[in-house]
A and B are shown apart, each in its own frame.
Chain A
């Protein structure tokens, strides 16, 4: 089996556009959550989120392209451009057919659905733009990235709710490891901060009206974010041969299903995914120097996740943080954005803080890196994603 490394990263999220500025924000513990600015916000009971503020799509894309780019596609393309530039790759010649992309998203072109439903239902218009379908399809971002860089190998989108981008990255890893591709762009995106998107989430009664405080005794729910992160996964030998700067090695991937409840998580399913990732990576529990938790800030997730981590990692105090208190829960794109915190831990020895956890919940007995970043030498990390529907996906990375 081939080894797989990361040679490029890019992002758009509420903290910043770009990886260096995002990592700087994570290291200083900045919170990207605030009042959201969307249509009809006065009819929502949840009015906060981690929104990408001041996003000027018109300045980034020409008008003809924009008629085809939903907000989640825009985020993906900008993140992909940064990742590809960092990798130094160009996909000319044979590499084009040996490269592809796999992205995760839960809802796809939600902004397009929302705007056009508003037009036909609320505003009684009888006509919508001719490109609504290709704009809203969940695979649109993958197709546009494929076209933009000439990626002619495996290209598709996976949708597993809040685990989407972890599943996507795990599959991209397996695609290279098995020799089906040399280079895969991967990650995920979500742009669900729309009136309809938030209204739907409000219904579940799991959103916090005032902030995201994962693992804290006073937490009261999740806060939604938006954005994208894209990584260049590359065959290790290919990267070495061209002298690429290797950011980290993708060491293993574990995925399981609870086969239990459509919303309630299970300790067993989460623990089996964590254990599977370690086993796949050939790592033992005491190799792990940091866990980026799924840590949604809901009562259900945090206790189950804490129990699963204890079950697999034992009583070894592994530093854990959920970075969702900074960039929000980016749903299908969240695992990709959280992988940036993993890269920062491995590369810079800086563990991003778990903001808002001023008084840890005694039922979550973990070494929470709360309030401020922590310096540590980290050789290997885990990144958890546990989705509605009981779909679990955990990535293991190690220093290259």
Chain B
């Protein structure tokens, strides 16, 4: 599975949706992920890619990790994976 597919699979599992239902443009707030689901999704991403995602539930929009849409999460994960490899 490619990195985008793996991220989509993680988000879909937490949102209880089929991965094919998640378009890159889909906004996380529209997926029905509650705060616990979001924290679990981030944990799953960290475990899957062995990275640390900077995320504080008190300031989810602080901008360190863009959780706006499926595409923005994929881009942020790609960046963290690249940083780890560098």
Contacts and interface: CB of A to CB of B under 8 A. Distances in A.
Contact of A220 (B35, B43, B52, B56): B56
Given A203-B43, A205-B39, A205-B42, A45 B52 contact: yes
A221 B58 contact: yes
A263 B58 contact: no
A59 B42 CA distance: 45
Contacts of A203: 39, 43
Contacts of B57: 204-206, 221, 298-300
A340 B58 CA distance: 28
A30 B47 CA distance: 40
Contacts of A264: 35
A188 to B, nearest CB: 25
The 10 closest A-B pairs by CB, nearest first: A205-B57, A299-B58, A221-B58, A220-B58, A220-B59, A206-B57, A205-B39, A298-B58, A220-B56, A205-B55
6 contacts: A204-B57, A205-B39, A205-B42, A207-B56, A208-B56, A221-B57
Interface of B: 35-36, 39, 42-43, 52, 55-59, 62
A54 B50 CA distance: 37
Contacts of B42: 205
Contacts, number: 38
A343 B43 CA distance: 43
Interface of A: 45, 203-209, 219-221, 262-264, 297-300
A120 B55 CA distance: 32
Contacts of A208: 56, 58
A204 B39 contact: yes
Contacts of B62: 220
A264 B58 CA distance: 12
Interface of A is mostly: loop
A95 to B, nearest CB: 48
B56 A205 contact: yes
Given A206-B57, A209-B56, A300-B58, 4 more contacts: A203-B43, A206-B56, A219-B58, A298-B58
B40 to A, nearest CB: 10
B56 A221 contact: yes
A204 B52 CA distance: 14
A120 B18 CA distance: 42
A91 to B, nearest CB: 46
Contacts of B43: 203
A386 B61 CA distance: 25
A362 to B, nearest CB: 16
A206 B36 contact: no
B39 A299 contact: no
B36 A263 contact: yes
Nearest to B42: A205
B63 to A, nearest CB: 13
B25 to A, nearest CB: 26
B16 to A, nearest CB: 17
A353 B36 CA distance: 32
Contacts of B56: 205-209, 220-221
Nearest to B55: A205
- Most chain A C-beta atoms within 10 Å of own C-beta, residue among B42, B57, B58: B58
Contacts of A220: 56, 58-59, 62
B59 A263 contact: no
A263 B35 CA distance: 9
B32 to A, nearest CB: 15
Nearest to A219: B58
A206 B58 contact: yes
A225 B33 CA distance: 31
Contacts of A300: 35, 57-58
Contacts of B59: 220, 299
A193 B55 CA distance: 22
Nearest to B53: A205
A262 B40 CA distance: 14
Nearest to B57: A205
Nearest to B54: A45
Nearest to B40: A203
